[in-house]
Structure 1
Amino acid sequence: MNPSKHSARLLSAGTLGIALALGCLSAPASAVERSPKPGAPGVQLDHLDRGLVAAKTLEGVFLSWRLLGPEATGSSATGLTGTDFNVYRDGQKLATVTDSTNYQDTAGTAASEYQVRAVVGGVELDRSASATSWGGNFKDIPLKKPADGVTPTGQAYTYAANDASIGDVDGDGQYEFIVKWDPNNSKDVSQVGYTGNTYVDTYKADGTLLHRIDLGVNIRSGAHYTQLLVNDFDGDGRAEMMMKTAPGTKSTNFNADGSVASEGFISLLPSDIQAGYSNSDDYRMSAADYYQHMVKTFQRWTEHPEVKAGNWPATLEEAFGIAPKYQYPLSQTDAEAMTDYFMDVYAPSRSARNMLRAFEGFIVSGPEYLTVFEGASGKELKTVAYEPGRHDDGLMWGDYAMARIEPGNRVDRFLAGVAYLDGKKPAAVFARGYYTRSTLAAYTWDGSNLSPVWNVDSGWTPMTNPFNDGPHGRNGTDPEFGTLTTQGFHSLSASDVDGDGKQEVVYGSATIDDDGSLLYSSFDTMPAGSATPGEEARLGHGDAMHVTDIDPARPGKEIFSVHEGGAYAPYGYAMRDAGTGESLFGAYSGKDTGRGMIGDVDPAVPGIENWAIGMQSANGEKLSPSKAPGTNMSIRWAADMTTQLVNGSADQTPTIDDWKRGRLLTATDTRTNNGTKGNPSLVADVVGDWREELLVRTADSSALRMFLSTEVTNHKLYTLMHDPQYRAEVARQNTAYNQPAYTDFYLASDMDFANVPLRAAWLPGSVKALQHVLEDLAESGDVAGPVGSQLTASIQQAAKAVEDGDAAKAGQALQRFVTFLGQQKGPDKVSDTARVALTYNAENILRSFEG
């Protein structure tokens, strides 16, 4: 987080502290002795620097830094073992830290400058960038608020910072901050009205605005419309962004002084250009537009495939339950009369909330795209059609079938996530619909091509009458995926639930296997007192879902979820086996159970507690019939590895509260997002040790404020961002109803650190960092003679192979690098410290190619 200089070029010449790039992999000394064969690299994770931060406290200065995933080599009773660290203040060594990655300097001042240096076998192998103290326990990332606007109906609106994500967009080992701006007239997908445009900004930690993406008038603003994914999808060490776009989406890149460097609209598909679409189009519907839309829909009634197939009523009179009156196809006059009846009589008779004369602001026509943007510049890299398309305004999706008629609702329910479907590289998953037709599409990005991996589609939910039916809980037409309907939630998760090393997509009450097949769709028996006792029914849709190892006493992972099916769902909340979907315990509620959360809030209770209706232990033992912590968002904030809760919504001040100890933080002058659910912009392990940071907007949205836990811990764990499930879940945290990110392993106060996975991970950028180190050693004279040229050539070949995506070739070049290091001929010079440091780190990179 220190923006002053990149640590990859720091040199500690003349000492054992050879300056190695902090992004280089580190591993046990035994790894140096191994000669792994080049092959497919291990799971791809972010190339990160040490992430050293310093915060002024009442006790002095608190320091916190990262243990990188591949640096962990074993475990102890209190944490992981492996690399240790020497702590320096103003160039003087203060301490050697072995049991954690934090340190309290009681004599530190605001002017003190700190470094940490990695130590293995008593030898310092790298040093971090320097860090000076934050003024307190938070840091502000300055933001640039978009200009206010006015809707087509004359209503003024302004902007507030909303959800955020992180990614290393420039490959320097430090995270940048991606911030979504929502207008104050943003809407739930079921709400009528115009919205302002959605903007997505990318900032450096010092507030430098790199670029802004204006999604344009043809993307509605609200929690369900823009799910932005930030990740290094192509493995070049720099993050890309993917999101749904439309004609009119524009990207603006800025110079360092804030002036515009370049700007441009995304590319329209050739077929759309040929059809007459342009980036100046505005597809937002006015009330008058919607009226004419329904007139045309009714005029074409007899041409609809479902009507022609005999699945829907042959006439609109039959659909509305009135006497026959018109000849078909309807004339303009008759279609208008039928539209008047539909809007003024039929719809209000179904629900007093149906005010279709006021329907406006929705986008139910025009092209829909999926665009990949370069993370550093915002440059459009690729645009394809969004799959599946909307098809219609929601008629086939059931938006007119329920008592509440809501055009543009079920059709525009979007989800997105990242998943390591092959166990190696991140793929992007985009979904549409979850109440009726339910679809998911997975893609990989290789730097040039956005390639489909698989496509899942439940098929349409059959309806006997699109204007009066109950399509929820009814199978779609697809023979394999038909039971997906009504199983999706307002988010999704990526987790290896079956233990095959590849992540599945947990789609609410169902799970899609890594190969795109249906792993399971969860049903259970309806209890006595429900609407249909004894019948088998879907667990169904819900608002909150949590996937991880919740109960360490049983094998595998669990899913805790809440459900809103009321009297038509077997559970209000349920705990399931994540691998099979089998219900382990739960409770019928008979109502919409809207909130639920998990967390180790009571260290005296084994496992991770869960709550929705009261609170239970991990194995279902009732701990409290009614009293429970909050459900907005959890955070790992405490030194003892328990879970805390983030509370506060709307104009309330956010707080972090501990179930046993009370309030730990009051985030003064900040706000959460998204109404009553009160989500922070982001909760993630952004800097420092394994604890999560709280990122919330300031009350005036002038900054994104990042709070750091300054409680000293004696637990040592690698950065959570080097756990594949956690990294994927941080990427999807902003999706619709924001959910916490969970690790692939059991993480709680009673955890056994021997069960934490020690992975060989591929961190793109580490080869380039090693190249910088070699250059520094050559400059200091620690490497000289012909061998220096041979080493340089091998590293350059490896770097080129990485850039080309050729893992085998990169591994072969690195193996040659190690072989050259072992040779000492004539005028060659490789000092002992240089040989140890270079061999050590090169072998660690090679280890990632073992898979």
Structure 2
Amino acid sequence: MAQQLSFEPELYTTPRDAWEKDKDSATKWNLWTTDKDAAKKWTGGTVFRSPSVSKDRTSNEEGAPMLHTVLTGIPDGSYTVTVKFGRGLGFSRDGGVTWTNLISSGGSVGNMTVSGGSLELWFDDRFADKKSPGNCYFDCIYLTPVKAAAPEVASAAVFTADFEGSIETSGFSWWSRDNKGSAAVCADAHKGSQAIKISSDGEKDWAFSSGTMIRVKPGTFYKVSAWVKTDNPKMLNVQISSRGQGKVLTWDIGTGKKFTSDGAWTLIESTAEIPQGCDEIYVRLTGNGKMDIVADDITLAPTAPPPPKVKKPLTRGFAEQRIVEKMSRSLIAIARNSDIYLNWRLLKDDPDSIAFNIYRIPNNSAPVLLTKTPLIETTDFIDREPVPEASYRVVAVIGGKETDSADTTGYIAKAGEPYLSIRTGTKFQKAGIADLNGDGVYDYVVKQPNVNYVDPCIACDYWKKSTNTYKIEAYLADGKQLWQYDLGWSIELGIWYSPYVVFDFDGDGKAEVAVKTGEGDPRDPDGAVRSGKEYISILDGMTGKEVTRADWPTRDELGDYNYFSRNQIGVAYLDGKTPCLIVARGTYTFMKVDAYQFHGGKLTKLWAWNTDDEGPQARLYRGQGQHNMHAADVDDDGRDEVILGSCVLDDNGEGLWSTGLGHCDHAYVGDIDPARPGLEIYYAIEPKKQSNGMCLADARTGKIIWGYDKPTTHIHSTGFVGDIDPKHPGMECYSGERDDPLRRLWSATGNVIADEKTFNKGLDLRAVYWDADPQREIFTGGALRKFDGSAVYEKIRGSQVAWADVVGDWREEMIVSDGEFLLIYATAIPASDRRVCLMQDPIYRIDVAHQAMGYPQVPTTSYCLSAVTTKSGKPVVSMRIDAINGTTETKGSLTIAKPAGSDGNAVTVMLTADNARVAPEKTTISIDPGKSVVMPFTLTLPRKPALFGQKNGILVTARITDGGREANASATAIIEDAPLAQAAMVNASAFVSETGASVKKRDDKIGSSGQSISHWDVQGHRISWELTVPSDGKYLVVVRYCTEQPALRKVSVDGAAPTMMTFQPTGGFSSEANNWKHAPFADERGRPTIFSLTAGKHTITMENESGSMNVNYIAVISEKDAGQ
């Protein structure tokens, strides 16, 4: 009889806060270990005991929380499931929608099929025992295997090809993407007198496919085998392809590969399980690029299921307890117009009662206490009477006494320049953020130059020959450069060749640099590196000297250059304590991962994994990579899993699950939907999908929660996940198509919030926590803005490289590369509450570490900030304001959430605006504890905004008082450059002549009044328009345009000598309405030019000198109307 499996539910159940150990409660389970004779009564001496149930519950929320149990590590098959329980324990298969009383079945759940190694169940203290009401008990789950029938073999289920006849009679056909190569019979046979010879002289992929289909049934197993010989084995695959209802389902459900290169006959074999929906299979030989192979005796036949995998042992690192970074208070001071704003960190180990004193330290003078009473509600302070050349000191106060926990800053960011700066001397591409010298302050390891030959796909024309080498440079927080390490010619210019991470791997308090390295100059004549030794090297963070190295996963099995040139590095706490190094190769096809620990100056391999380790399930793990990597404890066992993309590796180096959706361009993990238990992963899939090209999956099981139900072609780039819209609980998810306007902003529950017509932010949305509310502000149009478009901060320059909470309180900083400097932009907006430093969240910290490699992604957290009530008891407030568009009035609203457990319901709101009137100015509203309200307001300007010049917007500030607790919020009403309502004009698309190139006429530009033109980016490209002036007079010629960078144009009227004019950046190429600006023709000093024009037609000419810009229309405005 097959062995029965038993599972202790406390090891497989969430949420963890649903119970307390050895404590009875009316709202939680008791994980009871102190029962008399517990070891005799309960398996393992432990049992879940519910609150007393006197009558049947009517909802999942009554009594103790519903328990979600996911059993893992189960061999696939059918099982009889029984539960050891007491009284009226409820059981559900559908997440708590329908319930069964286990009393009625005697604990039998029935037969269930396990696929993918896991089984998902739900339990609740749902029912009362009518004969003996009281506590429910949940002790153990048993799985007894059901004896399976012998595999069914379809008739005519064996296919063989010996090529003793012609190609035509074999039923095989040749295909190649570049129409090169051929297949022909030859006399060099493995057995018999003939074989097939394939000769490929192209650069792209090819296939030699059988036209004979074998009828199959899902759940059966088939083996493919072939005898082959070749001198170029790394590009050869023998595949089982699947079809369903006459259409190809997947090209590869089982692949055998040839790895030797001695030209001898070699047997290739692979086994595959027939997936659901498949009714036919056939054989293909595939490869990529130039090669000659001979193949013979190809067989496809049914086979017995493979034996169950031997489970790998748990990872055990060297650490006895979790290694965490030492963190200072990281006090930062930012000068504002007349005061100085200070903020600092709250740490996760701080007691709830901790408070802080602030001291000003004048130059060469004694410290001056600035706080009348220690600060407890926020970790920020404003010095309203600053002294030149002073520094500041924050001191922790516990139990009314100052402690040794203190931090001092001597740096004050200048007014109007809210950033810290480090001189790097050049632009850089990536930044690793970690503490190199152990002082609790983050330092920076950058990679330069800022060059990225994006993709190793030579055949796609993406690849370029490297003309320089990457250098890794380390800088302390004070700007001191420590060292430079040249990666040399063995590492090409591109993010996939040069991954690195910076982290304290050995737990000594000082971070190391883990980086991919090579030796010498192994470049081929074309400049590509296809051979040579490769290593994972550990560099000392303070000196840059190599401490140790280990072999990088080999190029074998990955096929051509495009596939084996994709490399990544990551960090994961595989045992929950030791920060382990994850080294990965492959994204689109075969994938390999090695895990190491760094201890005692040495790298020790903990485990190795590759796609084929998953046996018949390998097809589900093949090509499931992402352009980044994540680590998170998805199954709540205290150990990190490795999220490679659409598949996840368990902490011991085994496949945990795979969606099988294919390569995802971006994926984000976190508590995206806080209403659900556990974590979620948002996916955006690159390959064509009929559905779920954008989807949310349960991080524990990989099951799709919701997804886009229409076809997608290529969801692209980094997308975004984060809480930006306060009207929708949880984090929002954003993605779009590469070659199509399709954009979707999803709520956490899968509702469409916005599309390409209302929220087109490109494909790389960035956002940070910047103001005082728990929503992120998005970077768009050259500024940080609220979700509704209102500006929060507008003076950001440089190329963004990373986003992280590196200094000050919990709000985030933007790390940018600006010419010769690394700039760290920090907020100067006062906080409304205090929260623990985000870098102490495990998912967030590793996400930040991974920003040094792969696609850059904004980090996520293991909890949703807006779903967490801070201990300050203050209301949580966010503000939105509509843009001002050609009028003097606009609308806005405040969303105010009153914390549960707070007193009363009367909340006072006071609103003020700079140079404008806001109504109401003061009001009292009623909000029940635990609830939120939306309060509208109106903003009125004293006059219409000027047509030209700087439009800074109108700052609106709110102060909310709830009893003795005060919260603040602010937002800026954007003043949009609205289209002219009454002016003589000509649409840019109605030009009368064009020379030098061709623009595109566009109907899809957001904020454009009618058509516009784009792709005006070639020097010498000249365009002329005819415009009718209504009457004689003095006029300005005005252009409505948008551009990301300065654009130079030679401008003239009626053939006069041209003037060189600079069109200043507007924030973007009309990804939003506010990108459009008006600019009059002006001289080289920027002074508007007044033209004396007669009534009738006039010719306006503009010629591109440099830069690109979109144009909506050209208009003439009288000198009087323009206010000149």
TM-score higher than 0.5: yes
The one-letter amino acid of 2:868's match is: M
Cross-structure match for 1:411:
564
* Residue deviations 1:712-749 (CA, integer Å, cap 9, x gap): 1122112112222221111111221111222222223x
Which residue is 1:501 aligned to? Answer: 638
Q: CA deviation at 1:481?
A: 4.4
**Where does residue 727 of structure 2 map in the other structure?**
604
SS of corresponding position for 2:359: strand
The match for 1:671 among 783, 798, 802 is: 798
With 723-732 and 136-145 compared, the bigger mean Cα shift is at 136-145
> Which residue in the other structure is 1:285 paired with?
524
Change (3 A) 1:618 1:69: same
Are 1:183 and 1:197, in contact at CA under 8 Å, matched by a contact in 2? no
2:482 corresponding residue in structure 1:
210
Corresponding letter in the other structure for 2:324: L
1-structure distance, mates of 2:644, 2:614:
18
Query: By how many angstroms is 1:751 displaced?
Result: 2.4
Tell me, yes or no, if the aligned pair for 1:110 and 1:133 is still in contact at 8 Å.
no
Aligned pairs for 1:619-630 within 5 A? 619-626=749-756, 627-628=758-759, 630=761
Cα deviation, residue 589, structure 1? 3.1
Change (3 A) 1:242 1:98: same
Distance change (3 Å), C-alpha of 1:135 and 1:625: closer
Q: Would you tell me which structure has more helix in proportion to its own residues?
A: 1
Task: List per-residue Cα deviations over 1:631-652 (Å, max 9, x = no partner).
Answer: 332222221010122347xxxx
Q: Which residue of 2 aligns with 1:98?
A: 376
Q: Tell me how far apart the structure 2 counterparts of residues 589 and 199 of structure 1 sit (CA, whole Å).
A: 43
- 1:382 alignment partner in structure 2: 548
Name structure 2 gaps, 5 residues minimum.
1-317, 362-366, 736-742, 874-1124
1:146-195 Cα shifts (integer Å, max 9, x gaps):
xxxxxxxxxxxxx6311101111111222211111035474422233321
Deviation at 1:571, TM superposition (A): 1.9
Distance 1:661 1:572 in 2: 28
1:694 aligns with: 814
Letter aligned with residue 601 of structure 1? I
Preserved contact between residue 65 and residue 687 of structure 1 (Cα < 8 Å): yes
1:456–1:481 contact (8 Å) kept in structure 2: no
What letter matches 1:397 in structure 2?
L
| Corresponding residue for residue 618 of structure 1 | 748
Q: Give 1:189's aligned amino acid.
A: P
1:125 to 1:659, Cα distance in 2 relative to 1, 3 A: same
Q: 1:754 to 1:580 in 2, by over 3 A?
A: farther
How far 1:671 sits from its partner (Å)? 2.5
Higher strand share: 2
In the TM superposition, what is the alpha-carbon distance from 1:482 to its structure 2 partner?
4.4
Structure-2 residue corresponding to 1:44: 323
Matched, 1:720 2:842: no
Residue 564 (structure 1) aligns with: 686
Structure 1 residue 42: Cα displacement: 4.1
Tell me by how many angstroms 1:59 deviates: 5.0
Could you tell me how far apart the structure 1 residues matched to 2:614 and 2:747 are? 39
CA contact (8 A) 2:662 2:685 kept: yes
Amino acid at match of 1:501: G
Where 2:626 maps in the other structure, the secondary structure is: coil
Pick one of 331, 354, 362 that aligns with 2:528.
362
Out of 491-500 and 589-598, give the one that drifted further: 589-598
Opposite residue 397 of structure 2, the aligned amino acid is V
Letter of the 2:356 partner, please give it: F
Q: Which amino acid aligns with 2:770?
A: W
Q: Per the alignment, in what secondary structure is the counterpart of residue 178 of structure 1?
A: strand
Equivalent residue, structure 1, for 2:393: 115
Correspondent of 2:427 among 143, 160, 171: 160
What residue number does 1:645 align with? Answer: 778
The answer as to whether partners of 2:413 and 2:420 remain within 8 angstroms in 1 is: no
TM-superposition CA deviations, 1:399-441 (whole Å, max 9, x none):
4xxxxxxxx2111111221111111121111110011101111
SS at match of 2:449: strand
Listed one character per residue, the Cα deviations across residues 463-488 of structure 1 (whole Å, up to 9, x for unaligned) are xxxxxxxxxxxxx9844544211211
Correspondences of 1:321-336 after superposition (within 5 Å): none
Matches within 5 A, 1:697-846: 697-698=817-818, 700=819, 702-748=820-866, 750-753=867-870
CA contact (8 A) 1:417 1:729 kept: no
d(CA) in 1 for partners of 2:384 and 2:586? 55
Cα pair distance change 1:755/1:619, threshold 3 Å? farther
Which residue number corresponds to residue 1049 of structure 2? none
User: Residue 429 of structure 1 aligns to a residue in which SS?
Assistant: strand
Is this contact kept in 1: 2:436–2:476, CA < 8 A?
Answer: no
* Structure with bigger gyration radius: 2
Please give the TM-score of this superposition, normalised by the length of structure 2: 0.46
Question: What are structure 1's unaligned runs of at least 5 residues?
Answer: 1-38, 74-80, 146-158, 248-280, 287-359, 400-407, 460-475, 523-537, 649-653, 673-679, 757-851
Give distance in 1, aligned partners of 2:454 and 2:760: 28
Asked whether the 8 Å contact 1:192–1:361 carries over to 2, the reply is no
Please name the residue that 1:511 is paired with.
Answer: 648
- Provide, for residues 649-686 of structure 1, a one-character-per-residue CA deviation record: whole Å limited to 9, x for no partner: xxxxx532321352323344x332xxxxxxx2211111
* Distance (whole Å) between structure 2 residues aligned to residue 109 and residue 545 of structure 1: 48
- In structure 2, give the amino acid aligned to 1:638: D
1:580 Cα deviation after fit? 0.7
Percent of aligned pairs sharing the same letter: 33
Separation in structure 2 between the aligned mates of residue 409 and residue 500 of structure 1, nearest angstrom? 37
> Helix, strand or coil for the counterpart of 2:370?
strand
Match of 1:201 in 2: 473
Give the CA RMSD over aligned residues.
2.3
Cα deviation, 1:259-317, whole Å, max 9, x if unaligned, reads xxxxxxxxxxxxxxxxxxxxxx321122xxxxxxxxxxxxxxxxxxxxxxxxxxxxxxx
Contact 1:89-1:112 at 8 Å conserved across structures: yes
CA contact (8 A) 1:550 1:557 kept: yes
> Which residue of the partner structure matches residue 325 of structure 1?
none
Q: Are the equivalent residues in 1 in contact too, given 2:779–2:785 (CA < 8 A)?
A: yes
In the alignment, is the contact (CA less than 8 A) between 2:720 and 2:857 conserved in 1?
no
Q: Distance in 2 between matches of 1:742 and 1:614?
A: 19
| Contact 1:420/1:724, CA 8 A, preserved across alignment | no
Q: Secondary structure at the match of 1:166?
A: strand
Give the match for residue 682 of structure 1: 802
Given the alignment of the two structures, is residue 89 of structure 1 paired with residue 209 of structure 2, yes or no? Answer: no
1:548 paired residue among 653, 670, 674: 670
Deviation sequence 1:65-107 (CA, Å, 0-9, x none)? 1112211x4xxxxxxx342111112322222210121112222
Measured in 2, the distance between the counterparts of 1:212 and 1:704 equals 16
Cα shift readout 1:358-378 (whole Å, capped 9, x = no counterpart): xx2210011111100110111
The 5-angstrom pairing of residues 209-248 of structure 1 reads 209-247=481-519
- The Cα of 1:621 is off from its aligned counterpart by 2.0
**Change in CA separation of 1:704 and 1:440 when aligned onto 2, cut-off 3 Å:** same
CA contact (8 A) 1:480 1:518 kept: no
Residue 629 of structure 1: CA displacement?
Answer: 6.3
Residues 491, 518 of structure 2: 8 Å contact kept: yes
Cα–Cα, structure 1 residues 82 and 482, in superposed 2: closer, same or farther, change >3 Å? farther
Amino acid at match of 2:522: Y
Q: Label 1:116 to 1:497 Cα distance change in 2 as closer, same or farther (>3 A).
A: same
In 2, are the aligned partners of 1:419 and 1:503 still within 8 Å (CA)?
yes
445-454 or 620-629, larger mean C-alpha shift? 620-629
Match in the other structure for 1:457: 610
Cα separation, 2, equivalents of 1:179 and 1:637? 24
Q: Residues 168-179 of structure 1 correspond to what in structure 2 (within 5 A)? A: 168-179=435-446
Distance 1:666 1:497, change over 3 A: same
Number of residues of Structure 1 aligned to a counterpart in Structure 2: 530
Provide the C-alpha distance between the structure 2 equivalents of 1:542 and 1:495, rounded to a whole number of angstroms: 18
For 1:253-268, what aligned pairs fall within 5 Å after superposition? none
For 2:747 and 2:682, the matched residues in 1 are separated by: 12
Displacement after TM superposition at 1:625 (Å): 3.8
TM normalised by structure 1 equals: 0.60
| Aligned equivalent of 1:141 | 421
C-alpha displacement of 1:753 = 4.3
| Higher relative contact order, chain-length normalized (CA < 8 Å, sep 6+) | 1
In the alignment, the residues of structure 1 paired with residue 716 and residue 850 of structure 2 have an alpha-carbon distance, to the nearest angstrom, of: 20
Structure 2 CA distance for aligned equivalents of residues 725 and 576 of structure 1: 17
Q: Counterpart in 2 of 1:769?
A: none
